Structure 1
């Protein structure tokens, strides 16, 4: 680290605006040694040069691909690997992700074709008024979500099981479920902030706690949880929901679920809705 800098160096706030991450995230990456700014002003403020920003972009690509920050750091700091190799590696991983997304899309199309759209109950229960839904689930709750869910999953056993379990729940019961879900998500975000690694004993326990919360609605196997976790990073709405709890939580949770499933004999790459 040096106090010398050029006029082209950028402050942490300017870099945050440029690359689309929060200042808090950049501070965290500096603290764990993932992306350390190359310079400082005389008053101690961080300054990033062009190479620093290039590294940030590489971190963002790897994070989008689902890699943990510690793993990204090891890859980027490998002295035997040059930037060109990184680009080829990223391209390979992107092609693999596209392949997985295409397989998921085909599976969803098949579910839609088999869906019985006529007489299943909503997963939110018919006893909640629109006002109660907004109060419990938040003002951004959109009743269209349940229509979309019915379109995707309406013919599945999980949907029927959820309808049977939740159809008679009143507002107080839904509020209890919502409070429990908030507690689970807060615990996940807290673990992320402490740097808990997916695959660790603590992360596996949290993944199981998350699965248990889903199990209040229907029996969720580790394989089914993996399928759900894919949506947490691939659907912007899920990603925004979790990342509002903590920057990068959606990716972290997906990896935690996948590693927990792997410890139970499930291959995340081939997991299906069963």
Structure 2
């Protein structure tokens, strides 16, 4: 498979695969006469190992060490253990929800203890940051929280300005929109600071949670598409 084919087949981005190659995690086994990357079955297994280990929360450096010294069956076993843990948590959450639904048939509102238990179980099943970021990346994002307060505060005003131009029917190529797009790109850059892996995870989290992002006041897909028409490729 060429890199584009592998990206489409796995749902990863070409940029991510290039980054993993630079880190020595997944290096294509061959090159064509035109110097295009070619991945064989062993390379695809290697991609799976990296994906599985990232899902387990390991940083890339640790993944590299494990791939050098470990084996495919170790990664499979660890991934299976995590999936089993998630299934156990989901079954527990389902039992709690079913019990609350039954009790709501006889009461106007759920008991506070039921609500607290559901919050706890939902958090364990669906910890958004844990799905997308390694512990090191979470710590880095938290460390930036204070210094990034000014940047975070700029987003609502920028989103409102973009929304106003959309509602007015302004062409995305208009200088006003291009200026907003430049500011948009600057805010994104200040958040991920050019880290390609962190950048990809941030975009992936937004893409996987578009409704939640919009409900929290963030941009919806229509706005992303609109601002994308007036600025260069994302930084």
- TM category (shorter chain) comes to 0.3 to 0.5
Give the alignment's TM-score, normalised by structure 1: 0.39
Greater share of helix residues, 1 or 2? Answer: 2
TM-score normalised by L of structure 2: 0.44
